[in-house]
Amino acid sequence: MENNRKKLFAELKEICAFLNTTDTGFLTVDSLRNLMVELGHPVSETELKEMINAVDKNAEWESNGQIKIDFNNLYRVMLEAERDEQLKLFIKMFDFDKDGYLNSEELRLALTVILEEDMDMALIDAMMKEADADGDGRLSYDELLKMFIKYGKI
């Protein structure tokens, strides 16, 4: 399942990149639905609407039930969804006490594994201090996201 999602993302990215070079840069509801079917991921009408709303909340539906979707927005939403998934997986992998946050020891282990070198606890403390915006001594999803964006990791 995990691999399927990754594959779908890769395919969608390629298609988006390709189609975005066409004149309009827009996709209609029907073409999006067909695209999902072709990729082996048929979606219901509700799911389709949710996808579209995630891409563009202000999208205007035309009288024939069609809607134009900006490919740049679709692409951005997909990238964000992918990043979200990666970060959740990262937290899950290293959240040893299962409280949904990373404390300094968990962060140290995570960085040791990722960077393949022993992390100095003083450095970890400094990173924690910087990233722990609400000062509760552990890093939440949002705090980790900001840290990763700052260091260009995702």
- Residues found near Ca ion in the complex (CB under 5 A): 95, 97, 99, 101, 132, 134, 136
> Nearest distance from residue 88's CB to Ca ion, in Å?
14
Burial annotation 5-40 (CB, 10 A radius, 16+ → b, else e): eeeeeeebeebbeebbeeeeeebbbeebbebbeeee
Nearer to Ca ion, 74 or 103 (CB): 103
Nearer to Ca ion, 17 or 89 (CB): 89
Q: Which of 71, 100, 54, 82 is nearest to 154 (CA)?
A: 82
Distance CA 122, CA 34 (A): 54
> Nearest distance from residue 131's CB to Ca ion, in Å?
8
Nearer to Ca ion, 57 or 98 (CB): 98
> Nearest distance from residue 3's CB to Ca ion, in Å?
27
Nearer to Ca ion, 84 or 134 (CB): 134
> Nearest distance from residue 85's CB to Ca ion, in Å?
19
Beta bridge partners of 28: 68
35 DSSP assignment: H
